[in-house]
Amino acid sequence: MEIAKARSKTEKTSMKKSVFIVLSDLFVSLFGDFSLSAEKKGKLNVVFFLVDDLGWADVGCYGSTFHETPNIDRLAKEGMRFDNAYSTCHVCSPSRASILTGKYPARTDLTEWLGGRPERDFEKLHSAKKLMSLPDEEITLAETLNQHGYATANYGKAHLRKDPKTYGFDEAITGWVRSYYHPFSPQYDKSLPAKKGDYYTDKLTDAALDFIERNKDRPFFVHLEHFAVHDPIQGRKDLVEKYQKKLASMPKRKGPEYILEPNPDGPALSDGELKALERNDDLNLHQAKRVWWVKQQQDNVEFAGMLEATDESLGRIRAKLAEFGLAENTIVIFTADNGGMSASNQYKGVNYPRKQLDSRFASSNLPLRGAKGWNYEGGVRVPLVVHWPGQTKANSTSHSVVAGTDLLSNSA
């Protein structure tokens, strides 16, 4: 215990030296040592725009031709796009903890989404012992910035089983989402006032805009952790209608809509065995063989509507920064917590009506293999775009391999 306390004190002291230590690992590796300290040049605002379950291939600037993401694409044209960015885990909570602490999941023992999936009879090994919340002794990005005089806010899916105000955020509006249309869930009844017809992504953005306006005269950190594009897959109705028309106007795509993929740690299966399992779409049989249905085409109009609403959120945030003259003094980071949900969160066969399938299978990660929850590229490779005025070169691409831990320097 005394060692842990001493370590915690050392970490706090070392991380108070300069607010720009926070992003040093990532940016110094790309641009060199700027010696740009907060004391000399003023403190930059930070907007961290984190999307849940967004696949590497879901965004226009990463190759999607079905999804329309003009604001994300514009951010990439004005900043730097990373084509080898990875989450530190194939599921959400460990990845989110890595972003906030600068540590890999194994260093914090937070290695599973919270509160974790149950043990399953068909699995050969039991899950490792793991924590069920962010450890108290960890020093977070929010705490560090708060100590440097930043106003800090966390909106959306924190998912670390603690009130974000206990680890450095001045304000927090967080919780699970049961419906993207009001009522969202009981957790938001008081914290995010809304009326019938209101869409969750829009209301969460309203809260972030209000925070920026209230804190425009001081440095701020907005951690906008959108629940989108996590299921329930419910697009905003006007945008769903747009994509229904778009899909209807497109030629029918070649190839299968879904294929069976064996898990990385499952037994090797021949093509013949996979074909037999495709014909026999049985839950127990597929679990025993460790196979899962994976979506192969980007044609889910509900998901497309969710994603474009999220893209609009980024556009609204940047417009507010411009309105207050803050655009040139704000770092904007856009990324995802893990790969895309091209396989359903809970097992679902494919012999169902299209509407039911669209409610479970979000998108396709092709050309990457696999999905959220797997250690194939489709489960851990994520989009990452950074716009740092005066430092990132416009319309540039970095091939550097980076991960969530690179966003916070914490070598202790």
Amino acid 320: pLDDT: 98
Amino acid 349: pLDDT: 83
Amino acid 122: pLDDT: 67
Amino acid 2: pLDDT: 42
Mean pLDDT to the nearest integer, 234-247: 98
Mean pLDDT to the nearest integer, 247-251: 96
User: For 146-175, what is each residue's pLDDT tens digit?
Assistant: 999 999 999 999 989 999 999 999 999 999
Residue 319 pLDDT > 70, yes or no? yes
Residue 266 pLDDT > 80, yes or no? no
Q: What distance in Å separates the CA atoms of residue 377 and residue 370, rounded to the nearest whole number?
A: 7
Residue 220 pLDDT > 60, yes or no? yes
**Six token digits for residue 406:** 């690179």
Amino acid 409: pLDDT: 56
Within 13 Å and on the Cβ side, how many CA atoms surround 106? 0
Average confidence score pLDDT of the chain:
88
Nearest Cα neighbor of 89 from 381, 360, 407, 293 is 381
Strands 80-86, 402-403: pairing is parallel
Cα distances (Å, whole numbers) of residue 261 to 256, 282, 291, 343, 393: 13, 15, 5, 9, 39
Amino acid 5: pLDDT: 44
Q: What is the DSSP letter of 370?
A: S
Mean pLDDT to the nearest integer, 290-302: 95
- Above pLDDT 90, what percent of the chain? 71
Task: For residue 59, report the phi and psi dihedrals to the nearest 5 degrees.
Answer: -100, 145
Mean pLDDT to the nearest integer, 393-407: 93
Instruction: Please tell me the least confidently modeled range out of 23-32, 86-95, 209-218, 271-280.
Output: 23-32
Q: What is the DSSP letter of 127?
A: P
14: confidence class by pLDDT, cuts 50, 70, 90: very low
User: For 331-342, what is each residue's pLDDT tens digit?
Assistant: 999 999 999 999
Amino acid 89: pLDDT: 94
CATH for the 2-15+46-254+304-341+368-407 domain, from 3.40.720.10, 3.40.50.261, 3.30.450.20, 3.40.50.2000:
3.40.720.10
In DSSP terms, which residues pair with 51 in a beta bridge? 226, 336
Mean pLDDT to the nearest integer, 20-34: 42
Element housing 174 (H / E):
strand 171-174
Residue 119 pLDDT > 80, yes or no? no
Highest mean pLDDT among 40-49, 259-268, 365-374: 365-374
**Six token digits for residue 397:** 């691409």
Amino acid 40: pLDDT: 39
Q: What distance in Å separates the CA atoms of residue 12 and residue 95, rounded to the nearest whole number?
A: 22
41: confidence class by pLDDT, cuts 50, 70, 90: low
Amino acid 114: pLDDT: 84
Residue 305 pLDDT > 90, yes or no? yes
Mean pLDDT to the nearest integer, 215-224: 97
Amino acid 113: pLDDT: 81
Residue located via tokens 């049985």: 282
Within 13 Å and on the Cβ side, how many CA atoms surround 33? 2
Residue 264 pLDDT > 90, yes or no? no
Per residue in 307-333, is it b (16+ CB within 10 Å) or e — as a string?
A: bbbbbbbbbbbbebbeeeebbebbbbb
Amino acid 202: pLDDT: 98
Within 13 Å and on the Cβ side, how many CA atoms surround 386? 21
Mean pLDDT to the nearest integer, 8-35: 41
Residue spans of the domains in the chain: they are 2-15+46-254+304-341+368-407
**Strand runs labelled E in 13-110:** 45-51, 80-86
Residue 42 pLDDT > 70, yes or no? yes
Residue 8 pLDDT > 60, yes or no? no
Amino acid 345: pLDDT: 78
Nearest Cα neighbor of 217 from 23, 45, 18, 20 is 45
